[in-house]
Amino acid sequence: MHLKIKNILKAITFLIIGTFLFAIIQNIFMPKRVSYTKAYDAGKLAGFYNEKENSIDVLICSTSHASKGILPMELYEAYGITSYNLSTSIQPIEATYYTLAEALNTQKPKVFIYDVSSLYFSSVEAQYWWFILDEMRMGPNKAALLREYKRSANGGNESKGELIFPLVKYHERWKELKADDFTISMRSCRDYSKGGQINSAVEAAEISVEEMNLTADILIQSMEKSTYVYSGEKTELEKEAQVLCNLEIPEKNIEWLEKIKALCDENNVQLLAVKVPTVYMPQTYRSAWIEEKYHYMKTFCEAYGIAYYDLLYDTDIAFDWSRDTLDEGQHVNLNGARKVSADLGAYLMDHYDLTAAYNEQWDKDLSLYQEVRKAATLELEQDFVSYIHMLADEYRDKMILISAADDMAAKLNKKDINALRTLGLQADFGDALNKQTYIAVIEGGEVKYEASSDRQLSYGGTSEMSGTEYELYGSGWLTGSDASIKVGRKEYAYNPEAFNIVVYDDERALVLDSVSFDAYMDGGYQAERNNSKTNSFEENLERYFIETEYR
């Protein structure tokens, strides 16, 4: 009898240890789609599970338009609204429904905000389903969403084991495992931004709202495909019906929206449908928000008893489509998101029973958000004078590295030069610098080195706090125009004939921004940046805060 009990205890112990080890290994192999990784627009549920129960008044859930366009910490800062954004890239409406259902297990929101973009999705590729499925905890909602995924047009051929246990699905990731896979636990993630995604890239919209709608009118009126077939001396015209711009919503998506509304009604949650602005060529981008879709959606929502607020056509939030978008109008960046969030917050306070709910934990999160936003705002600045003043006012304690060459002084005016003086720089930035090279190092608010020459110049050293190596090089017109700024042996200068500026946070050993101001740009100096690198600067800062200071 004692032997039997002993064997049972051994079996239980073995099972517990095996389960524990399985969980650890599974966590290692799971993709780390943390909230600050711009490439995924995921990592939402993992952080949401760690929020205090019944602490969220507004839930936001839909596609990347909402993820990038509605920032919960902006709502909290301005209005005291506690919200969470569970939106992910190309989120299927089925996933929106079950994400809401999952959220209602721990929260009692007053308002649920849904961006209507996904109503026009006819099918969604498998990877976008898994942005939700990978993070959703095992339970009825995940099981139901898995069934919908298998029924969908792009449902994969995964086995039951792969569907239930991510380790089985991702076991081949061993070839691409990195340090993050061993150090980051999705179970312990907390997101100070509450699911909102800060983006510091700038890429102007290709067309205006008016041009988008004019193009859409042509598409709507073109209901027939015409094909000319040439055969010898004979030409035949073939015609067939073909709609280029379909305003109607797929029936399946209407059914899921009705389910979302019913779920909201059952839980005393008010459903608000919105549309975050998107301006793009309607013949190539299904989410281009043309005016005809707006009118259709307005009528549609009225018919189903759903409140609808359009942030492009129902209000004027002074969008600047040359500065407020990160990818030619498809998504808004931080500039645009702050405008969207401010307007939406005012709408929420005016139309719903919401009261300010400031508290100590959210204030701590807000403080961290403000630090990241500050850096992103610098990365977004396009105007030369404004940028230099930001450095002088807010980044005097950082390292500022400058390398410029050739015509970098060609268009400097008195206002530009006065701005440079606020950094403590003494060079004659007039015609004397034309065709020359110039380098400067500012550290801790003091100019450590400043020089100009008609030949080559170089200067290097190590930063005071982190001991990071840096090297500046410049060459004037006579010796072949060139400019270089290396930090930690990596090149950060973009334009050999412009003002290249790198801002380095020596305390945290992070590059905060790298920008070139081109003298050839019409209208004075304007910023040139590599958007992918700029976003990586902001990502690295977020990661530092979350993994170091936030803990």
pLDDT confidence band for 429 (50 / 70 / 90): confident
pLDDT-wise least confident of 156-165, 284-293, 342-351: 156-165
- Residue 92: both structure tokens together: 């299927």
Of 223, 247, 227, residue with least CA distance to 237? 227
Amino acid (1-letter code) at residue 358: Y
- pLDDT tens digits, 269-281: 999 999 999 999 9
Which of 162-166, 183-187, 547-551 tops mean pLDDT? Answer: 547-551
pLDDT band with cut points at 50, 70 and 90 for residue 172: low
Long-range contacts of 318-324 (CB under 8 A, 24+ apart): 319/277, 321/204, 321/205, 321/208, 321/209, 321/279, 322/204, 322/205, 323/202, 323/204, 323/380, 323/382
**Residues of 440-463 as b/e, b for ≥16 C-beta within 10 angstroms?**
bbbbeeeeeebebbeeebebeeeb
pLDDT tens-digit readout, 457-508: 999 999 999 999 999 999 988 888 899 999 999 999 988 878 899 999 999 9
Annotation: CATH topology of 31-205+245-358? Rossmann fold (3.40.50)
Q: Return the top range by mean pLDDT from 1-10, 481-490, 526-535.
A: 481-490
CA 81/CA 113 separation, integer angstroms: 13
- Mean pLDDT, all residues of the chain: 87
Model confidence at 402, in pLDDT bands (50, 70, 90)? Answer: very high
Residue 138 contacts residue 98 (beta carbons within 8 Å): no
pLDDT confidence band for 3 (50 / 70 / 90): low
Q: How far apart are CA 401 and CA 408, in angstroms?
A: 15
SS3 for 9? helix
- Please report, rounded to a whole number, the percentage of residues in the chain having pLDDT higher than 90: 62
Given a contact cutoff of 8 angstroms between Cβ atoms, the answer to whether 142 and 133 are in contact is: yes
Lowest mean pLDDT among 69-78, 188-197, 331-340: 188-197
Dist CA 292 CA 438 (whole Å): 54
Residue 383 near residue 523, CB atoms below 8 Å: no
CB 381 within 8 A of CB 527: yes
pLDDT of residue 518: 81
> What are the domain boundaries of the chain?
31-205+245-358, 209-241, 377-549
HEC sequence for 308-352? EEECCCCCCCCCCCCCCECCCCCCECHHHHHHHHHHHHHHHHHHC
pLDDT at 160: 57
Token pair for residue 359?
């508290």
Tell me which amino acid residue 376 is.
A
Torsions phi, psi of 545, nearest 5?
-60, -45
Both tokens of 400, joined, read 């500022």
What are the tens digits of pLDDT across the range 107-131?
A: 999 999 999 999 999 889 988 998 8
Mean pLDDT calculated for residue range 20-25 = 51
C-alpha torsion 427→430→434→440, nearest 10: 20
d(CA 490, CA 183): 25
- What tokens does 546 get? 């979350």
